[in-house]
Structures are given as C-alpha cells and as structure tokens.
Amino acid sequence: MSFLNLVALWTAAGVVPALLILYFLKLRRREELVPSTLLWKRAVQDLQVNAPFQRLRKNLLLFLQLLVLLAGVIALARPIIQTTAAQEKSLVLLIDRSASMNALEGNQTRFELAQEQATRLVKTLNRTGSRWFSFGGAIAQTRVMVVAFADRATVVSPFTTNTAELASLIADIEPTDGRTNLREALDLAEAYMAPPARITQGMEEQNVSTPVSPETASKLLLLSDGGVGDLEELVLTSSTMELIRIGQTRDNVGITALRTQRNYERPEILSAFLQVGNFGPEPVTTDVSIYVDGNLWKVRPHVALAAAPLATATQPATAAPSEGTTASLSFELDLDHAAVLEARLSRGDALALDNRAFAIVPPPRKLHVLLVSAGNFFLESALRGLPLQKLVYLTPEQYEAAEASDLEVDGQSKYDVVILDKHATARLPVGNYLFIGAAPRLPGIEVTAEKKDSGPVAFMWWDETHPVLRHVTLEYVYVADRLLLQMPAEAESLIEGPDGAVLTRYAKDGRHFLILTFAIEHSTWWRKPSFPVFAYNALRYLGSGGALAEEGASRPGDTLRIPLPLGADSTALTRPDGSETTLTADASGLTHFGGTYQVGVYRVQPGVPERDRFAINLEDEWESDITPRSNLQIGAQQVAEGQAIRVATPEIWRWFIGVALLVALIEWYIYNRRVMI
C-alpha cells in the first residue's frame, strides 16, 4: 500500500502531539485550607504532574481518540493498493480475446473478467492530481501499451501515460471466436519497444544509423487462460512476462470436425461426418442433432464420452486423445437440393460456440463438360469414368471455328467446364477452364520457355489441403516435356516443380482457370490411380465456380473469397449476428472479406448462386480445451504467475473514514457511560 498525498499525511500528523498536550495540561485549582488530607488522596495524586505517562497509561478515551485521528489522517493521505506491475516504468498489457476466453465463469465470460482486471490495473497507475512528497523532484509515470490478440493481434493503444483514457479503450475491445496467436502479439510489442533510428547530420555524412535514446525494456503482462498453442515458437528477447491467469472451469464438450460429401454415383445422397470431443474432467453423455435449413432432421441420442485427461501448458488434452474421449459419427441424408446443414449438441457447458457446426451443401448435379483435344486416350478414359451429365468433344480447329451461339449465351459459357488439351486460345467466354499442356492467351500470362528432352523431373511440393488435390498422391510422378510460365502475382500455385509452378489456379474477369503445364502423356501420371481422382476434383472445383469451399467450413479469421454476379460491383454481407457490411468487387469480379470473427453462416446479397453462403466453424481442439493453464514457459524463460487485482477501486480511503466513524461512535458511548479507566 502507498499514498497519493504524503504532504497531507505529514501535515495532519502534527495534530497527534497536540492531542497529547491537551491531556498534559493542568487544571487551574483554587487554594483552600482543610484540617486533614486523609480523604484527599486521589486529589493529591492528581497533583503529581511530574509523572504524566503514569496518568496516560490507563486512559481509554485518549486511546480511542488517537485511533480516530490516525484513521482520519490516513484517509486524507489517499491510500492506494499497488500491484507489482504498478512499479514498472513501462508496461505492455496483452489481452487474450480468443475463442476459449468466451467460456463462462459464473455469469461472466473470461474475456469480461480479463477486461475488468486490465481496467483495475490501469486505474492504479498515474492517478490524476497525485503528488509524491519529494524535494522538488517528480516521480516518473508508468507508460502503458495495450495489445488485444486472437488469431491476429491489434494495438488498442500505443505507449501512453494517459491511463484514464485506457480504461475506455479496454472496454471497447470486442471478443472473437478465433484461435490464440500470441506470437503476433509479441512481435507487435517488440516492434513498439524497439527505439526509432535517429540520424544526426554527422551520421548522414558517414552513412551511419544509430538509435538515440533507446527504450527501456517493458514488462509484459499477459491476461489469458493460458491456452496458447504456439509456445514452442515464441521467444522473449529483452522483456519479462507475467501471467494473470483467468478462469477455473474445465467443463466443455465440443464439435471438433464436420465434413460433408455427396455420393460419387448418386449425388442426391449426402454423407455427413462428425467428431465430438469431451474436454472436461467428468464422463458425459449428449444428444447430437442434425438440422437441414433450420429444421430438425435426425437425433443421435446418448453419445457417451469419457473424461479427458488434464491438459498441460504445451499441449491440449486431446493432442493424443484417450480412448472414449472423442466420438466419430456419420449420417446419410437424401438431399436433392442446396442446403445449410447444422450439427448441434444438446448438452450445455461453459463454451457454447463449439456446440454448433455448419456446412454449406451444394445442390447435386452432373456437369456439362466440353473437351477440346486432337485426341487423348488417357484423358478421355479418365473423363468417361466420371459421373458427368454430358461430355462434348471438339478438335481445336472446330472450337476456334464454332459459332458464338454454340459456345456461349450472353457472354457466359454454355458448359460448366471447358477442358483444353494442348491448345492455347484467347477465345474464353466467362466460365471455368482446365488447361492441360497449354496456357490461356491473356495479358499477364506468358510462356517463357519449353522444357524438352531434359529428362524426367519429380514434383517438389503440392498443396494437399486444396480441394483440387485432396486424396491425390503425387509421389513417384515424373514429368518430361513441360512449359515454364510467368503468371500474375495473384495466381495461386498448387504444385511446384524444380523450375516453378506446375499447377496454378487463376481468376480474372469472371473466368476461373486451372493451368497444368505438361501433357498427361508426357508424364507417368496417367498410370497412377491419383490421376482420375485429380480429374474428378478439378471438375467439381471448377463446376462450382472455381472458388468451391472445402466440404468443411472455414475457421474464424479466414478470408472469404466471394464471387459477384456478372455486372455487380458490390454486395451486402450479413454476419451471423445480423449486422451488415458492404463489399466492393475487384477487377476479377471477386471481393474478399477477412472479418470472419464469429462462428456461424455468412450470407451475401446479391451473390452467385451456390456461392452466396459461407460457414465458419471453430473446429479447434486448443480452443475447445478450456482448461486454464499455468507454468507457461517461453524458450528458457519461465512465465511467472501474478495475482489478480481483487478490488474495484485502488483508493481505499473510504475504509479508513468508516473506521474513524466507528471508533468515534464507541468513544461517544463510553464517554456518556462515564467509563473511565
């Protein structure tokens, strides 16, 4: 505890000797002649002024009055409760607002508790009007920076001594449903703590840049439940960190995965795969319900889950799931239309946002495909094995000579997908294209070289998470002749070879392209079972507008790539909470939205049919495992755990005023009862 007004403390303390002097003053007595002093012993003892402390030794009223005076003096000095953080010259508050911080602790969320702790802390710093008793000097004020983080970090306030404003800024921080990413928050804090480089005139001549007035290393105060998934990647350079651990509860059951897939032979049949995990300390049972467009379709009752082991600071309890803590469920639906599918748990727990998961299901359909080729047995064999509605063949010459009405309607391709085998062309109505061994003739796309007779090469890397390459195995695939392409910066490479991109995705002006730089017959791929799988994935992807979302939903914080209808330059996006925002399309007819901080379904209007709804799910075991962690270690440094601030206000002078009034009441009662000791 310390005081905001030490001058008042020392000034008022001078009243204490005055009270004692009043008790030492003698009464002015009248002299009287008496025959004897036998009955006046007490009066004679009262005249013995040479022993004043003997007289004070048993004076209860004086003791009570001293207590009243002392409490009043302390109240005038404005005592405050100081934390260890309040002693720092520079302080960075890292406030966790990730998904697990939405867990309930009583009637408040962990995030709300973290906000309260941060607000209480800043109120103890740099109090307005506070003056320390010093000989002409001034005490240095604490500089505070606030960073809020989830999957991304945001600077709420740079370093400032205006802590009165910080309280309102902290109150305005919004929680998110994203994953915890402490690394970006630390990088931001380190960047703000790094001193700016200042160059003097002499330094300019010598071409030397040296910091002047370097910043003092700050103390980092982390307000979090400790569920940080990237501890092993973190490094603290010049700072120390302290954890204010938020939360106690562990009880949570959540949906960790939801996937949907239509039947290969019968597209009207939809299979849904679901995984549910128990992260709490007790075994539980829950009902799992499936809803289609908001209507209950089926319930799987009494799904039993065993108790989860206790999580550690470096891994969730589900990193190596124990038997029975998770359950995998599958459902089969007869669904002949597009729909929003929702899985829902009936059991309530501390974290509600992982009790629901959504999937956007496209309608069943068989594609109309145009193959432009001079003849390719391997490609035609793979296409004939796919469940296509119609497959049309044209030679390159027939394609170029065809009437516009044979290929397009109102500028749109008549076919869901056009495959061009070893044929480069600029005749590209708005649509979806798969180029094999060739490239579209568009500005920004250039064939820089042709590799021939250079010997077979293998693929170096491929994005197996992309829907085009899902379940596609490319080991031991060798390519001989191939093209080297120069692509626009916005093109996405899906397969890399030793000379550059081998498979590229590109979108421009409503057209969507997959460009494979080698012919199938010039490789060993046609022998592999993965080639028909690739053909199936590529046609499904392009047939859904070239921007097909994975069967599962995106995660909070992911960027949505939203195609707009032809001729539309903007669209209105509605978030799960009902709020709206307007998005503007770029030159390619796409718009992007990165504010996916809420779990649920996002809708756009106007939008491309089947691409106007997007699902965002948590599906994160780190965030669903809400067990508060302690004993965090970053590199070789152990993160100390601090005590939470438990008072609503740092100034406690009201307590001393209350004590003074209570003691004064007792003194008045004793005086009126004339109880003297």
Task: Answer with the residue of higher pLDDT: 30 or 607.
Answer: 607
- Is 564 strand, coil or helix? coil
CA distances from 278 to 258, 511, 515, 530, 625 (A): 16, 45, 44, 36, 8
* pLDDT of the residue at 430: 86
| pLDDT, average across residues 103-114 | 94
pLDDT confidence of residue 198: 44
Q: For residues 168 and 44, which has the higher predicted lDDT (pLDDT)?
A: 168
Instruction: Work out the mean pLDDT of the chain and round it to a whole number.
Output: 81
Residue ranges of alpha helices (H) inside 461-583 are: 530-543
pLDDT of residue 648: 44
Q: What is the pLDDT of residue 118?
A: 92
What is the pLDDT averaged over residues 498-516?
A: 90
DSSP one-letter string for 587-618 = TTSEEEE----SSEEEEEES--TTSSEEEE--
Strand partners, 515: 435, 504
Residues above pLDDT 70, as percent of the chain: 78
Q: What is the CB neighbour count within 10 angstroms for residue 614?
A: 23
Axis crossing angle, helix 60-76 with helix 653-672, rounded to the nearest 10: 160
Lowest-confidence segment of 245-259, 309-323, 577-591, 656-670 by average pLDDT: 309-323
pLDDT band, residue 125 (cuts 50/70/90)? confident
- Alpha-carbon separation of residue 211 from 190, 200, 236, 263 (angstroms): 15, 10, 21, 65
Q: Does position 251 have pLDDT exceeding 70, yes or no?
A: yes
Estimate the crossing angle of helix 60-76 against helix 15-24, to 10 degrees.
Answer: 160
pLDDT of residue 34 exceeding 80, the answer is no
Buried b (16+ CB within 10 A) or exposed e, 453-480: eeeebebeebbeebebbbebebeebebb
> What is the structure's pLDDT at 604?
94
Lowest mean pLDDT among 61-65, 368-372, 399-403, 538-542: 61-65
- Confidence at 194, pLDDT banded by 50, 70, 90: low
pLDDT of residue 569: 87
**Which CATH number applies to 253-362+619-624?**
2.60.40.10
Among 206-210, 213-217, 396-400, 592-596, the range with the most confident prediction by mean pLDDT is 396-400
Of 324-328, 352-356, 482-486, 542-546, the one with minimum mean pLDDT is: 542-546
pLDDT (average), residues 532-541? 90
Say what percent of the chain tops pLDDT 90.
43
Do 344 and 355 contact (CB within 8 A), yes or no?
Answer: yes
Q: Which DSSP string corresponds to 428-456?
A: --BSEEEEES-----TT-EEEEEE-SS--
CA distance 156 to 173: 8
pLDDT band at 674 (very low <50, low <70, confident <90, very high): low
Strands 253-262 and 600-605: unpaired
Taking the CA atoms of residue 370, residue 373, residue 375 and residue 379 in that order, the dihedral angle to the nearest 10 degrees is -60
The residue type at 356: R
Question: What's the pLDDT at 205?
Answer: 47
pLDDT in tens, 547-580: 443 334 588 988 888 888 877 889 999 999 999 9
Higher pLDDT, 519 or 240: 519
For residues 219 and 85, is the Cβ–Cβ distance under 8 A? Answer: yes
Looking at residue 232, the DSSP 8-state letter turns out to be G
- Residue ranges of E strands in 194-338: 197-198, 210-211, 219-224, 240-245, 253-262, 269-278, 284-292, 295-305, 326-334
pLDDT at 358 exceeding the cut of 60: yes
Q: Which string of DSSP letters, residue by residue, matches 166-204?
A: HHHHHHTPPP--PPP-HHHHHHHHHHHHSPPEE--HHHH
The residues pairing with 417 across neighbouring beta strands, listed in sequence order, are 369
Which CATH entry fits the domain spanning 85-196+212-248+628-641: 3.30.420.40, 3.40.50.80, 3.40.50.410, 1.10.3720.10?
3.40.50.410
Q: What is the pLDDT of residue 302?
A: 93
Q: Is residue 295 over pLDDT 90?
A: yes
Instruction: Count Cβ atoms below 10 Å from residue 289 Cβ, excluding itself.
Output: 17
Domain spans, the chain: 2-81+653-672, 85-196+212-248+628-641, 253-362+619-624, 368-543, 560-611
| 432 within 8 A of 543, measured Cβ to Cβ | yes
CA distance 613 to 621: 25
Is a pLDDT exceeding 90 seen at residue 108? yes
Q: Which CATH architecture has domain 368-543?
A: 3-Layer(aba) Sandwich (3.40)
| 137, pLDDT greater than 90 | no
Least reliable range by pLDDT among 27-36, 261-270, 503-512, 614-623? 27-36
Give yes or no on whether 253-362+619-624 and 368-543 have one common fold.
no
CA-wise closest residue to 495 among 445, 530, 446, 448: 530
Range with the lowest mean pLDDT among 179-183, 250-254, 365-369? 365-369
All residues at 6 or more sequence positions from 662 whose CB lies less than 8 Å from its CB, including other chains: none
pLDDT of residue 387: 80
